[in-house]
Amino acid sequence: MARKRIKDEPRRTILIVTATEAEALYFSQMRKDCRFSNMTVQWVETFKDLSNLITIASHMRNSGNFSSVWVLFGLSNLEISPTQVKELIPFATKKKVKLAWTNPSFPLWYLLHLQSPRGFVSDASVINKALVSPLGGFSDDANYLLTDGLNLHLKLYPYKAKAAVNASDYNSLVEGKLGLAATNLITLFNDITDVCGLADLTHNQKQLGMKKS
């Protein structure tokens, strides 16, 4: 009697839908640096609001048959409040879309690699100014990530664990006041690891200043 062939499980994939071009460029850097070939990053240039962006991501999920789909946004970019985000979480769950946010904007994630603010910073420009010196003339627009910030993800990668700790500390400090964590990006990064596996940075050893043992 012939043995049945065991079918390989289909490869899992992850889609990250971003509200800004800069967010898309950063995660595209991550995809390249870490060799996450089963990660897709898509910037949606035109949408009405967060609800509409969730719906667009849901359509992408269905058409692309992605295992996991995230919508990434900064609250200040969408001019949305923590309360409004919380109200849309059940809708996103129904659409099988996960939400990843930063308050006020994505550069908060860069800052957390360096420090944890002592109080809630609501003004995105304050964060941007704090990053100018350590990140070589930083700007929050997409052009920075195409020029001076072309290797930003690679530059920040060694401090990823520190960023996670700082994010946790910062959330503990402000979540009670805001009613929502300042950022839940760690949940997104954990899902990326779960879907894509561990990063393969061996081809980037020179840029990271790493030596072969």
pLDDT tens figures, 69-82: 999 999 999 999 99
Other Cβ atoms less than 10 A from the Cβ of 170: the count is 23
CA distances (Å), origin 48, targets 40, 51, 53, 78, 140: 22, 8, 7, 9, 22
CB 153 within 8 A of CB 26: yes
Q: What pLDDT is recorded for position 26?
A: 98
**Domain spans of the chain?**
14-199
7 has a pLDDT exceeding 70: no
Strands (E) across 76-207 are located at 98-102
The residue whose two tokens read 């930063």 is 102
CB 19 within 8 A of CB 77: yes
pLDDT tens figures, 138-191: 999 999 999 999 999 999 999 999 999 999 999 999 999 999 999 999 999 999
